[in-house]
Amino acid sequence: MRTVEVSDETYSHVEHFRAVINAVMDEELDTQACFGLILEQGLRSMLLDIMGPQEHEVLLESFQQLAATNPAAVYQYVASILKAGAKLRERELRRSRIGFSTPE
């Protein structure tokens, strides 16, 4: 595992914010795990800030370019998402056959 240096102030903020994380997650995480979670969430948030406002066509073109440069990962990802969607649809279909449905 790599080590990252942060200022004492940043470390202190994360240590104190740990109480919030633990309350929300209903789990006791150590400070190192909190740093990992904060970095992961920060990266996701920044990517969403960049990609979220983009038009559908721009996102689709970006996805196609990603597939052109890394086909194995992208196509495996698409296949796994399609399989997960098919399983979900099948579960919903079975539920509706036996009379259970979610309120709309």
- Provide the residue ranges of all domains of the chain, joining segments of one domain with +: 1-53, 55-104
Q: Tell me: the pLDDT tens digits for 47-69? A: 999 999 999 999 999 999 999 99
On whether the CB atoms of residues 21 and 34 are closer than 8 A, the answer is yes
Question: Cα separation of 104 and 101, whole Å?
Answer: 9
**pLDDT reading at 40 higher than 80:** yes
pTM of this prediction exceeds 0.75: no
Residue 100 DSSP SS3: coil
18-30 per-position pLDDT tens digit? 999 999 998 999 9
Query: At residue 96, does pLDDT exceed 80?
Result: no
Share of the chain above pLDDT 90, in %: 76
Residue 27 gets which letter from DSSP? S
Which residue type does 86 have? A
Identify the pLDDT of residue 93.
77
Residue 87: predicted pLDDT = 85
